Chain A
């Protein structure tokens, strides 16, 4: 059974720092991996999607990498801003629809 783990559970850093969030999964037979952002009282927003054949994806200040063989993904956030404060979740898919989620990393960027 696929299990997804995110470390750390919470992270607080000063504005401007670069930071890395980690996601690990137990079964390397995945279809894709996604990183989502969740703001309080709002839905989940997809940030980046990495297909199983890809090694990384970039969007603005965000870069996500995928190493299927080791069952790891990282989300790198450059030059963090207070508006980046949110919970970040990763989810893996073993099919074209069902997502298995980590518990998330709660990120606080201090001004």
Chain B
């Protein structure tokens, strides 16, 4: 699986938009980009997945440039409950290959 690099931590305030960037220079042609959220003492939760350009769902948007060597998770108008660790993973779907987690980004939202 392609190695990913993310900022270790980020701080924000309620109501702001937060953008977390992930670098994956060695992403393969068949790899998708998936973001997970983890709260303390809970398992990771799927947020969003994409292959290229832009993907949006009810909780986030994912921006992927044409070269796909990076991606940006965008959380609109964060609240205190968005305080969590966010992980970016790349890999091929429909594949039983293992999921390797990087360091993740610890987002702290302040009131």
Do A and B share a complex?
A: no
